[in-house]
């Protein structure tokens, strides 16, 4: 059973006004060394590009139940340090209202701002990253070649960012659109081998455009620091259970793809520019509209395309005893909508953008509606 862990980027807001709060560095500094040394639970809290963010790095898990508990614990730890500086953390990929983010003071963040200007200064986005253990770089690239066509479906299921700078963006995941401004962001190429992946990596670094390997912002990539494949395409999810299920889907997709590779099943031959169009569609409509099917390569109802994904990973989910719970949560997302729809409903109910953030506070920390 492959281990898998998650990183959640969370938005820091003022506990009273619910406006973005530029105190992430202060909060993490007061966290008792959780940046350099993990908590007893194995969690780490770190800063991000903007001071309005806190990142939670959760320890690796082997089960859905363990992953759900780890995500809930991480959110609670981050919220506890946020409270010390007058804030709360919320699982919002973008700030719904008007905001002028504050670049962190760390040297690297300052270098990023000087190099990338407005792209960096406006980049207040919170993603959800899933790390899955792989046995080698060869296996990792083989898996990457096979999962890449399913990454848009994962984005659609996570879509949770309809508002940007005080306006309805018209997208279910506007975070993905904002993130795509980076020169190295987007769908990975079809590599064919670890050597080809490494050549591509070196060509990008030799260009001098990215500052370092940490800025190779592919939707999925090999980790630079641990033996994992990192899937980075998703929005951070409102509810911990949705996040845990998404992580389990990624782990199952990695395992099934590794099996296909060992069995000699070829990777789907879809070029990155076509895959970018598929991902744009997922960002636009989320799980409520139409998605491009990796099977037929044409648009179809999102529910049908998600069913194709579940069909691919069902054998692995069943082996792990997780199929029923995963399929139940996914069905609920398809029936009731992802975070994007819930944000729209909160806004339409009369709460406005403040109501959207209030919804996020409650959903992030599992507070029942009306409690």
Residue 49 lies in a domain: yes
Lowest mean pLDDT among 9-23, 73-87, 196-210, 355-369: 355-369
> What pLDDT shows up at residue 52?
98
Pairing state of beta strands 220-222 and 53-57?
unpaired
Residue 371 lies in a domain: no
Residue 120 lies in a domain: yes
Contact 86, 60 (CB under 8 A): no
> What pLDDT shows up at residue 367?
66
Q: Which of 250, 214, 243, 259 is nearest to 112 (CA)?
A: 214
State yes or no: pLDDT of 33 exceeds 70: no
Question: 351: pLDDT confidence band, cut at 50, 70 and 90?
Answer: confident
Q: Which residue did the predictor score with more confidence, 270 or 370?
A: 270
> What pLDDT shows up at residue 38?
80
What is the rounded distance in angstroms from the CA atom of residue 174 to the CA atom of residue 283? 7
Mind listing the pLDDT tens digit for each residue in 325-335?
999 999 999 99
Residue 93 lies in a domain: yes
> What pLDDT shows up at residue 204?
97
> What pLDDT shows up at residue 5?
97
Residue 233 lies in a domain: yes
> What pLDDT shows up at residue 32?
72
Mind listing the pLDDT tens digit for each residue in 42-66?
999 999 999 999 999 999 999 999 9
Q: For 129-148, give the DSSP string.
A: EEEEE-S-HHHHHHHHHHHG
> What pLDDT shows up at residue 350?
87
Q: How much is the average pLDDT of 21-27?
A: 95
Contact 104, 48 (CB under 8 A): yes
Query: For residue 274, how far is the Cα from the chain centroid?
Result: 21
The model carries a pTM of 0.96
Contact 196, 140 (CB under 8 A): no
> What pLDDT shows up at residue 36?
67
What is the rounded distance in angstroms from the CA atom of residue 340 to the CA atom of residue 356? 10
**Structural domain span for residue 77:** 4-364
Number of domains in the chain: 1
CB atoms closer than 10 angstroms to residue 332: 14
Question: 1: pLDDT confidence band, cut at 50, 70 and 90?
Answer: confident
Per-residue H/E/C for 31-70? CCCCCCCCCCCCCEEECCCECCEEEEECCCECCHHHHHHH
Mean confidence (pLDDT) of the chain: 95
Question: 166: pLDDT confidence band, cut at 50, 70 and 90?
Answer: very high
At residue 278, φ and ψ (nearest 5 deg) are -60, -40
Residue 356 lies in a domain: yes
What percent of the chain has pLDDT above 70?
97
State yes or no: pLDDT of 370 exceeds 50: no
347 Cβ neighbours under 8 A, 6+ residues apart: 163, 168, 353, 355, 356
Q: Which of 228, 223, 241 is nearest to 157 (CA)?
A: 241
CATH of residue 60's domain is: 3.30.590.20
Pairing state of beta strands 127-133 and 4-14?
antiparallel
Q: Which of 48, 59, 42, 52 is nearest to 4 (CA)?
A: 59
Residue 289 lies in a domain: yes
Residue 370 lies in a domain: no
Tokens of 195: 């050597």
Question: 369: pLDDT confidence band, cut at 50, 70 and 90?
Answer: very low
What percent of the chain has pLDDT above 90?
94
């Amino acid at each position: 059973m492959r281990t898998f862990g998650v990183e959640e980027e969370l938005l820091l807001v003022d506990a009273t006004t619910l406006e973005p709060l530029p105190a992430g560095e202060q909060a993490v500094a007061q966290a008792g060394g959780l940046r350099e040394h993990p908590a007893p639970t194995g969690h780490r809290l770190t800063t991000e590009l903007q001071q309005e963010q806190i990142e939670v790095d959760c320890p690796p898990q082997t089960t859905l139940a363990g992953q759900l508990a780890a995500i809930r614990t991480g959110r609670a730890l981050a919220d506890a340090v946020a409270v010390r500086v007058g804030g709360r953390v919320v699982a919002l990929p973008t700030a719904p209202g008007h905001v002028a983010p504050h670049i962190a003071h760390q040297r690297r963040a300052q270098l990023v701002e000087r190099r990338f200007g407005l792209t960096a200064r406006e980049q207040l986005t919170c993603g959800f990253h899933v790390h899955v253990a792989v046995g080698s770089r060869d296996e990792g690239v083989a898996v990457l070649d096979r999962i890449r066509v399913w990454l848009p479906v994962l984005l659609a299921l996570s879509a949770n960012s309809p508002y940007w700078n005080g306006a309805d963006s018209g997208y279910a995941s506007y975070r993905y659109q904002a993130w795509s401004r980076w020169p190295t962001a987007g769908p990975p190429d079809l590599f064919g081998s670890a050597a080809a992946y490494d050549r591509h990596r070196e060509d990008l670094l030799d260009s001098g455009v990215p500052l370092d390997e940490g800025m190779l912002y592919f939707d999925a990539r090999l980790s630079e620091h641990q033996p994992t494949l990192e899937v980075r395409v998703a929005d951070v999810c409102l509810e911990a259970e949705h996040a845990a299920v998404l992580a389990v889907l990624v782990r199952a997709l990695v395992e099934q793809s590794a099996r296909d590779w060992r069995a000699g099943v070829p990777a789907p031959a879809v070029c990155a520019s076509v895959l970018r169009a598929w991902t744009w569609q997922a960002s636009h409509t989320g799980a409520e509209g139409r998605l491009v099917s990796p099977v037929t390569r044409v648009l179809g109802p999102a529910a049908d395309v998600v069913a194709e994904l579940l069909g691919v990973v069902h054998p692995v989910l069943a082996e792990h005893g997780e199929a029923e719970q995963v399929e139940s949560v996914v069905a609920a997302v398809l029936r009731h909508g992802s975070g994007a729809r819930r944000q729209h409903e909160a806004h339409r109910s009369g709460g406005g953008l403040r109501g959207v953030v209030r919804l996020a506070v409650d959903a992030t920390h599992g507070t029942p509606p009306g409690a």
